Amino acid sequence: GAGVSQSPSNKVTEKGKDVELRCDPISGHTALYWYRQRLGQGLEFLIYFQGNSAPDKSGLPSDRFSAERTGESVSTLTIQRTQQEDSAVYLCASSFAGRGETQYFGPGTRLLVL
């Protein structure tokens, strides 16, 4: 596709349920990032994938959060036993390899935990 896509665009779930968010990066981009943005706040880094290297999971807020990526393609972010404080917009970005490269963002998934 032409850009980064994410699905679903919106997700409403009940507290305690598991949710899975999907990100399709731009073809050829080896780096993929997940961020969380709470209402009125900046982005919080969650996890970074670079090619086949071990991901940097240092931003994941708890062990309820996990993410996977197969090669240089789709990534899924899973939140288990959701809590109300997990409500946020989850943004995915991809870029070519290298720290200096611009990140291209998807439209985000708006998650609401009731």
Contact letters for other proteins, residues 45-84 (x by CB under 8 A): x--x-------x--x-------------------------
| DSSP 8-state class, residue 30 | -
Judge residue 5's burial from the number of C-beta atoms within 10 Å of its C-beta, 0-12 exposed, 13-18 middle, 19 or more buried: middle
Q: How far is the CB of 81 from other proteins (least distance, A)?
A: 26
Q: How far is the CB of 15 from other proteins (least distance, A)?
A: 25
If one asks whether residue 28 binds other proteins (CB under 8 A), the answer comes out as: no
Q: How far is the CB of 16 from other proteins (least distance, A)?
A: 28
Phi, psi for 85 (deg, rounded to 5):
-70, -5
If one asks whether residue 105 binds other proteins (CB under 8 A), the answer comes out as: yes
Dihedral of CA atoms 42, 47, 48, 51 in degrees, nearest 10, equals -150
What is d(CA 64, CA 67) in angstroms, rounded to the nearest whole number? 10
Residues at the site binding other proteins, with contacts judged by CB under 8 A: 4, 9, 31, 33, 40-45, 48, 56, 59, 91, 93, 99-100, 102-108
